Structure 1
Amino acid sequence: MNITKEQIDELNAVLKVAITKEDYQDKVDKILKDYRKNANIPGFRKGQVPMGLIKKQYGKAVLVDEVNKLLQDNLNNYLVEEKLDVLGNPLPKQQDNFNWDSEELAFEFELGLAPEFEVSLKTKKAIPHYKIVADKKMIDDQVTRIRKQYGKLVAKKEITAGDEVTGTFVNEAAEIEHKTTLDLSKVKSKKALSALKGSKPGDTVTLKTKGLLTEDYLLASTLGIDREQAEDLNIEVEFNIEEVNERQPAELNQELFDKLFGPGNVTSEKEMRERIKEDSEGQFQQQSDQKLLNDVTEQLIESTQFDLPREFLKKWMQTTGEKPLSPEEASDEFERSEKGLRYQLIEGKLIKEHGLDIQFDELKEFAKGFIRSQMAQYGQTDPKEEDLENIAGRVMGNREEVKRLSEQLMSQKLLSLYKEKANLKVKEVNYDQFVKEVYG
């Protein structure tokens, strides 16, 4: 077998493969002999079928199969040995009137070559790195929510502002009949609040659904309907009042601190506020890091310029999916996936240049850390190393879990690289400002 490469341009090449009978004939003959030993053909004893008949019936199929195996193995070896960085897989060129009986078989394969390019993390435009702080207002609101959540309910005879009212919403035409507890602090409509205030258990109040609550998404759960039905719902519902309760805030004392943070871990309101600030900012860090990953990715794609073998990739996409695509469909698919493909190449180069490859032992330790944090959520704060090893071993035997954990670990490695090397500008904001800037 002989393989030669013809360079078309920087991004495209053709591999020419010449195969002679000596490359495959021995294997073909051996397979056909095995077929003959086991063939059951009427009129012949087992093992006595003429070889000519075996060749006529099976020869071409065996030949094609063996040649294809030869091609696949040798092409893969050639790409590795020649250190060719290809995109997709080699595509066989169409050959009309191909003669499988020739003494020498000639094949051609199109290659799409990965482009040469440089990646600079020092982009011209500085990328914002958000530091989200828990400000006084946020901490105050959190303390208020905690006190309310752990407070006690006191029954009342009449509704006033801020009460919690238990009752049943009813609208027969819309098939609504749902018992719920309505927190008046979540009621937005002034007309609804006016109608509710002063009402007593046993009364029925008619309310309009449109603009009833402070957040539209709350309407579905309040009425016991799905989100699609609740969207833009504008009807009247009857609210049959059954109970009225006032939630008296819990005192900021040691009993509450122990419930929230464990016995003796927090001993004052000041320490509680510090802990709330620390925990909140820890959660914000995850959102800030994800935003940074997304922004650096976008900036690298925009600032790292290189060409792709577009026509080759479109052809390749026609044949690699679950079903063949038309040229038009493949072109559309390429346009949709081009950005992702570009980032895969950029990421691959960063991983290679900065030595970010993931090793098995490293991934296993990462898995153990993940398992340890999950166990801590269920009260197992000091698991045995043997237990961690056993669970991690099972996780590492699951291909999907390994893929998921590898992606998470690589994201952490890239994030650390970006924080160290990229052109970042720290921007301190509170959470409301972050949401407004990022999500509009």
Structure 2
Amino acid sequence: MAVVTRENVGNLQDKITVKLSKEDFLPSFEKSLKSYAKNATVPGFRKGMVPSGMIKKMYGQSIFNEEVIRTASRELENYLQAEKIAIFAKPMVASDASPLALDMAAPADVDFAFEVGLKPDFAIPAIDSKTSLTFYKIEVSDTMVEDEVKRIARRFGKAEDKDAIEQNDDIAYATIVPADASGNPIEGAEKIEDTSVLERYPEKLRDMLKGKKAGDSFSFRPTDVCSKEELAAFLKNIIKNESAAEQTFVFNLTKAGYIIPAEVNETLYAQVFPNAEVKDEATFRDMIRKELDREFTRISEDRLNSEMYEVLVHKTPFDIPVPFLKRWLKEGQDQPKTEQQVEAEFPSFEHQLRWTLISDKLITDNKIEVSMEEVNQDIKGRVLSYFGMENDDDAPWMDGYMQKITKDEKALNETYQRLMFDRLFGYLRTAFSINEQKVSEEEFFKLKDPHAMHHHHAH
């Protein structure tokens, strides 16, 4: 009969020892050996007719090892379930355990020592005290509506050629080519074709382009023409290579152009809102105002969600078994990691782990649930809206599609997680004390980022 003992070896870290007597694993070893013999294929013997002595000689020791380890793991699992012990990750062989010496020819009692990291019990003070947070309601001003009308008119406008680049809203049609330090294009290097409104470029590059005509070219390095703030976006969006800050490029202006904005009339209303009957400019502007309000509400809600997340992660004090988790990160993965990798990854791992523990507790304590039916309805709704349909009467193919999607575990899991977190954050809005404050767009984007406001862990 297996005997399991448990001792504390560190903060939220226990050592669990499973003592097996040979009676615990010998019967199942014999059984495994017989079943292996039935299916073994050995040259010179018919399947299932290999003598058991031969099977034992050839494969016995490895089957024996597997059976002993499997028995120990099963006893450990049963113990953890019976004692209701909530652990992180999976048990690991104790770091001070002696190497196992298992011998099929002389089966003996054997001890297995495991280490487990224990999940902490904790309260969530921010929820218990209904912490106060602010929902910043961005007011949509007449200027914002006017700017949006102009942007839309340009988007649906018509591009015309012009002699030279003069203003920030002119268009530069360019080919950008990697070059050597002297400005000679590198043979075989991939060209970047770019068409951008001048104001998308870094300020120094804009100045260099003003007055340039089709056929003009010059060389530059991103690091010389970008401010620190501009560099990352320029490399990502225009150069399409985030490590090319020091590279020299030749900028060839192939054409200069400008946009003639579309007229603000019924043709434009129908292009922007094809599913609505918009007859006059007042209605058009009113609909734009509502669209902007919807978009800004979404941005404000994202900010509030971020702040609730950060407050919960950083203001919920509890310990975690750091040495165990670092060891698990280092040795317990498919690919072992170095000490340096573990130290570099641990802060973001800990941040995510804290959120997982807190969100799991909130979901369990408040019985937040999402049914399979809701997952399917959500997927169906998203597919219909993608095709611009109201209901699936117009989509006879929907049943076949849904049968296929129910076998796609990744799609189902992603939808389930999204709905679960929507529901969790919906609950959190009632659990915190939320005050609404009206702000202008400018004031909103000057607010401090929630992550920066709360980035010290409470332990």
Q: Identify the TM-score tier after normalising by the shorter chain.
A: 0.7 to 0.9
Pair 1:341-2:353 in alignment: yes
Name the structure 1 match of 2:308. Answer: 296
Report the Cα distance in structure 2 between the residues aligned to 1:96 and 1:273, rounded to whole angstroms: 76
CA distance 1:272–1:3, change in 2 (3 Å): farther
Paired residues of 1:132 and 1:428 also in contact (CA < 8 A): yes
User: CA offsets per residue over residues 231-272 of structure 1, 9 Å max, x none?
Assistant: 58898867566x766x44433322221222126522221211
Paired residues of 1:219 and 1:230 also in contact (CA < 8 A): no
CA shift, 1:320, in A, is 1.5
Q: What is the SS of the residue equivalent to 1:304?
A: coil
Q: What is the SS of the residue equivalent to 2:17?
A: strand
Name the structure 2 match of 1:11. Answer: 12
Summarize the alignment of residues 51-200 of structure 1 with structure 2, pairs less than 5 Å apart: 51=53, 53-93=54-94, 94-96=97-99, 98-100=101-103, 101-120=106-125, 121=127, 126-152=132-158, 164=170, 173=183, 175=185, 183=197, 195=211
User: CA offsets per residue over residues 292-318 of structure 1, 9 Å max, x none?
Assistant: 222212111221111112222233223
CA distance 1:226–1:244, change in 2 (3 Å): closer
CA shift, 1:82, in A, is 2.5
Q: Which piece of structure 1 moves more, 275-284 or 427-436?
A: 427-436
CA distance 1:386–1:434, change in 2 (3 Å): farther
Paired residues of 2:132 and 2:434 also in contact (CA < 8 A): yes
User: CA offsets per residue over residues 359-402 of structure 1, 9 Å max, x none?
Assistant: 322222222232233222xxx34433764444333223212212
Pair 1:279-2:291 in alignment: yes
CA distance 1:430–1:410, change in 2 (3 Å): farther
Pair 1:360-2:375 in alignment: no
Match of 1:319 among 319, 331, 355: 331
Q: Which piece of structure 1 moves more, 148-157 or 118-127?
A: 148-157
Q: What is the SS of the residue equivalent to 2:88?
A: strand
Report the Cα distance in structure 1 between the residues aligned to 2:339 and 2:233, rounded to whole angstroms: 47
CA shift, 1:174, in A, is 5.1
Paired residues of 1:164 and 1:181 also in contact (CA < 8 A): no
CA shift, 1:217, in A, is 8.2
Name the structure 1 match of 2:457. Answer: none
Q: Which piece of structure 1 moves more, 332-341 or 349-358?
A: 332-341
RMSD, aligned CA: 4.3
CA distance 1:369–1:7, change in 2 (3 Å): farther
CA shift, 1:115, in A, is 0.9
CA distance 1:7–1:374, change in 2 (3 Å): farther
Q: Which piece of structure 1 moves more, 23-32 or 187-196?
A: 187-196
Report the Cα distance in structure 2 between the residues aligned to 1:326 and 1:186, rounded to whole angstroms: 43
What amino acid is aligned across from residue 20 of structure 1 in structure 2? Answer: S
Q: What is the SS of the residue equivalent to 1:406?
A: helix
What amino acid is aligned across from residue 211 of structure 2 in structure 1? Answer: A
TM-score (norm 1): 0.78
Pair 1:375-2:380 in alignment: no
Unmatched 5+ residue regions in structure 2? 453-459
Report the Cα distance in structure 1 between the residues aligned to 2:171 and 2:217, rounded to whole angstroms: 14
CA distance 1:99–1:251, change in 2 (3 Å): closer
Name the structure 1 match of 2:421. Answer: 411
Report the Cα distance in structure 1 between the residues aligned to 2:4 and 2:343, rounded to whole angstroms: 30
User: CA offsets per residue over residues 200-225 of structure 1, 9 Å max, x none?
Assistant: xxx86677877699x77897899x85
TM-score (norm 2): 0.76
What amino acid is aligned across from residue 272 of structure 1 in structure 2? Answer: F
Q: What is the SS of the residue equivalent to 1:394?
A: helix
Pair 1:427-2:432 in alignment: no
Paired residues of 1:208 and 1:237 also in contact (CA < 8 A): yes
